[in-house]
Amino acid sequence: MRKILSVLLVSLLIFSFASCGSEKNISQGSGEENTEISNILIVYFSRWGNTDYPDDVDATTSASIVPDGDGRYGTTEYIANMIADEVGGDLHLIETVMPYTADFDELRDVNHGEMERNYLPGLKESNLDIAGYEVVFVGYPVWATDVPQAVLSFLNEYDLSGKTVIPFCTHDGYGAGHSYQTVADASRAAVSLDGIAIEAKDVPGAQDTVSDWLADIGISGSQEQDVARNKSIFSADDFHVRI
Ligand SMILES: Cc1cc2nc3c(=O)[nH]c(=O)nc-3n(C[C@H](O)[C@H](O)[C@H](O)COP(=O)(O)O)c2cc1C
């Protein structure tokens, strides 16, 4: 009975989602031209951009820095950029007011402490206007088999209810852990997909994996596919549905 109810709820949400007149690539797939207005947000947290690294930090020995050409990127940031390259959308780095330590062991302890206290670190002021987005990718490095607390700060501060939330994460071999469920719960999204988890060592070569995943969930580089239309490829159990 619960399963039937879930399927009905998913159908209802998909229908209302598809019929609410989206601005771009999540409109019902009718072959209409898409407008240039982006309604996809790719928000992410990475150590890079949130850490007091010394100026001479050696990117080649740091698991959390991906060197590419003249640039350096966070591991999760690198995937965020791949998603943006494929589907467009706006990028937003979650930045804490207080940077985190560069020392891994210290950071592990800090994170455990924050998790135990359910502490939500303060975020830097930003002029992000979340209201205009229908699809929000949420990216993060897996910390202690879950999301970093800064991601919870973001989900607490910004209202994602009624939106489609798609998590993506990087990790060092242990996968996404509890993080998808945490994102679904904390975001209060209308629909929250189980996302993609990419091991840090695979990140530089992950473009095809990311492309295939985006195609699977119905958001392609052509921006003509449609999340709602392609949701039928998932079973109700693939979604965390909120009412
Ligand atoms: C405090 C902390 C906790 C971590 N916990 C996990 C974990 O539970 N499982 C895992 O596979 N990797 C874990 N990692 C590794 C990171 O998820 C991985 O290196 C990630 O790709 C870093 O992404 P970033 O460069 O965007 O910060 C942890 C890293 C840190 C710093």
The range of the structural domain enclosing residue 226 comes to 38-238
User: In this predicted structure, what is the pLDDT of residue 237?
Assistant: 47
Kindly report the number of other CB atoms within 10 A of residue 102's CB atom. Answer: 15
From the CA of 217, how far away is ligand 1's center (Å)? 25
Tell me the whole-structure pTM to 2 decimals: 0.81
Is 9 part of a structural domain of the chain?
no
Phi-psi category of 67—alpha, beta or left, where left has phi over 0 and alpha has psi -120 to 50?
A: beta
Distances from the Cα of 58 to the Cα of 61, 79, 180, 223, angstroms? 6, 21, 32, 38
Percent of the chain having pLDDT more than 70?
A: 73
Mutate to test the pocket of ligand 1, among 171, 174, 182, 201 (most ligand atoms within 8 A of CB): 171
Residue 82 lies in a domain: yes
Q: How far is the CA of 222 from the centre of ligand 1 (A)?
A: 32
Domain count, the chain: 1
3 lies in some domain: no
Q: Give residue-wise pLDDT tens across range 21-51.
A: 333 333 322 333 333 335 999 999 999 999 9
Structural contact between residues 165 and 136, judged by C-beta atoms closer than 8 angstroms: yes
Residue 131 forms part of a structural domain: yes
In a domain, 23, yes or no: no
pLDDT digits (tens, 9 = 90+) for 64-104: 888 888 788 899 999 999 999 999 999 999 999 999 999 99
- Whether the pLDDT of residue 173 is over 80: the answer is yes
Quick check: is 184 in a domain?
Answer: yes
CA of 211 to the centre of ligand 1 (A): 23
The CATH code of the domain that includes 78 is 3.40.50.360
- The answer as to whether 112 is a domain residue is yes
